[in-house]
Amino acid sequence: MIGRSSAAGYPLAAFLKPVKDAMNRPHLLLIAASLALASATSSVLAAAALPASNPFAKPSALPFQYPAFDKIKDEHYLPAFEAGMREQLREIDAIASNPKPATFENTIVAMERSGRLLGRVSATFSSLQAANTDDQLDAIDREMSPRLAAHNDAIFLNAKLYQRVKTLVEHAATLKLDPESAYLLERYNKDFVRAGAKLSGADKEKLKAYNGQIASLQTAFTQNVLKEANASALVVDTRAELAGMSEAEIDAAGATAKARGLDGKYLVALANTSGQPPLAVLTNRAVRERLMAASLARGSHGGQFDNREVVLKLARLRAERAALLGYPNFAAYSLEDQTAKDTGSVNKLLSDLAKPAVNNARKEAADIQKVIDAEKGGFPVASWDWDYYTDKVRKERYNFDESQLKPYFELNSVLQNGVFFAANKLYGITFKERKDLPVYNPDVRVFDVFDNNGKQLAIFIADMYARSNKQGGAWMNEYVSQSGLLGTHSVVANHLNIPKPPAGEPTLLTVDEVKTAFHEFGHALHGMFSNVKYPRFAGTSVPRDFVEYPSQVNEMWMIVPEVLANYAKHYKTGAPIPKELLDKVIAAKKFNQGYMTTEYLAAALLDQRWHQLAPDQIPTDVVAFETTALKDAGVDFAPVPPRYRTTYFKHAFEGGYSAGYYAYLWSEKLDADTVEWFKENGGLLRKNGEHFRQTLLSRGGTADAMELFKNFRGRAPRIEPLLERRGLMPQ
């Protein structure tokens, strides 16, 4: 949810910032969660607009402006949104109408300081609407999405305001700005132009209409996905049908069914991806088939939550909006502001990998078929068989299966003895849990984070368990972002969706869940280490195809022997994970990479195919278009469906990673090259962490992203480490 996405004030460019791993967040979060959302002082205007009883009327008095979750009620949001928008428009009007000549301070810095009230409410609302929603929050989301889009237009299409920015750009050479300030001016100018500031009056009105409709449709798409996932959860009648799942998991399925009024039955919730975790263990093939069918049909089989018409309208409106702004398609518009720059670069990356990835997947399918045939299964491998038999192939080849690993991956140990331990070794930071701050759910945990000099650096929120009112997947967001201008520090949250075990049972993680915990904390570090002046550049405010890079790098520490030995201990005995088992896990790292690369590429290619359409190329049949697109790209291999099909592909259609799902692979190229650097320089050493922190993590978006990489690495990235990692090097 990267990364794709939050901080003191509501700086204008925030609407155009990339999200911070917004894999699974609703539209409003995608607009607001990258805002600079903290404020050192409350404004007189805000106090006048909102009663003091509204928690958003002034900054939270809690440490680091941590949200007062215990005081915030659903009814507080809408008045705060409305007051915040009014306040910011007054601030913007004052800037645009200032009779004094434009200066960097009275125009650009003034915009950076604007919108603090709107920032406060947006950060909290968008975060909770993703993590802990209800019907009232969903209704507010639907109402506010187009209104916030209109608010954005009122600012970026303000001709007087843009003229002041343009004047400063024309005289930039005489302003004698420091590098961060100069880059801020450059970015604001680009943001205004990309938002339509140069359009005619009539075209600006067209653009406003497009933006409002797109915002509403993105919200509808996202809410349909969550509701469909709940409505389509697999229900079975007997425990026997769930054979292969642990007793605790079956008990949890029974409890979930009972909570929904299905006494005596068992309910298996759907994850956000096409593949579903229980497919790896369910022994009943018919149940596996039902589970996969329910997953793949989401949003495309009629009914209240069907997303096909939403997709077609969104694709058309985005294409028409891009054409109005002078671009051949939406992807061209979107990629211009990323490190990839253009559709040709992305298409080449994806197409170059498609054939070797599918070839590897076919070889893996042949290995699976041998196991099926040896067991006299009498059927060809299908998508609902892959995970189940892959684990058998893995066990046969490496003599271990996932069930052997889970007892060594207990959640608290993974978090504190793994994720936190690695960060301490690399960066010298320490953590202390505190229970005095309010939380929005009893399972949420809060930690103070202290820098290597002993001074508090940030507050970290850990929300690890799945809930029916929580978006799927995993993501990072910030309630408050660091800013030297505003004197704020980071309040950052990680969200996972780990199934909560019955009371008294340990929370044991899969390898993928451990990897996700390290990944999301990489985003958290990017936010916490931010050391910038302007909110516009705080933390993960970097291009979408760069934002996943630091988080992917952080995954490397999960299997470093020193870290693994500290957290991978049997939850009952405390015995360390056996070396021979660890050796097998490491040896198996390239195992099943054909499948994993193919399912990812299929989704990334779908995202590009939809968003590289011109307005007159929009199809009428979503499913037919998807089928043809996958076939034309050479990734139509039935046992490996796309990681996301179109109708539940939130990255592509809720707004955050539209035309940008390729970003994970693009970032992985940088990640793989960076992992090689750490290995070449001794690995988990403080001097290495300090170099990475100072040259890249702390810099946020203060310079061109690829220049930051080169400053760290000393050269441009190479693709060979990525190909080697994924087993795609020519044989």
CB 16 within 8 A of CB 191: yes
CB atoms under 10 Å from CB of 588, counted, come to 14
Q: Which two tokens stand for residue 312?
A: 């077609």
Measured distance CA(647)–CA(407) in Å, rounded:
36
Strand, coil or helix: what is 2?
Answer: coil
3-state SS class at 508: strand
- Residue 200, C-beta contacts closer than 8 angstroms, at least 6 positions apart: none
- Cβ–Cβ < 8 Å for 35, 123: yes
d(CA 190, CA 476): 27
Contact 123, 493 (CB under 8 A): no
Q: How big is the CA angle at 66 (ends 64 and 70), to the nearest 5 degrees?
A: 150
Phi, psi for 465 (deg, rounded to 5): -95, 150
Task: Count Cβ atoms below 10 Å from residue 205 Cβ, excluding itself.
Answer: 13
CA 204 to CA 210: how far, in whole Å? 10
* C-beta separation of 431 from 416 below 8 A: yes
Q: How far apart are CA 220 and CA 229, in angstroms?
A: 14
Angstrom distance (rounded) from CA 551 to CA 557: 11
Residues in the chain: 731
How many other CB atoms are found less than 10 A from the CB of residue 32? 29
Active site residues: 520
* 99, 110, 201, 373, 423 from 95: Cα distances, Å: 9, 7, 21, 73, 43
User: Nearest to residue 23, comparing CAs of 33, 37, 13, 11?
Assistant: 33
User: Under a CB-based contact definition with an 8 Å cutoff, are residues 540 and 494 in contact?
Assistant: no
Cα–Cα distance for residue pair 20/481, rounded to 1 Å: 12
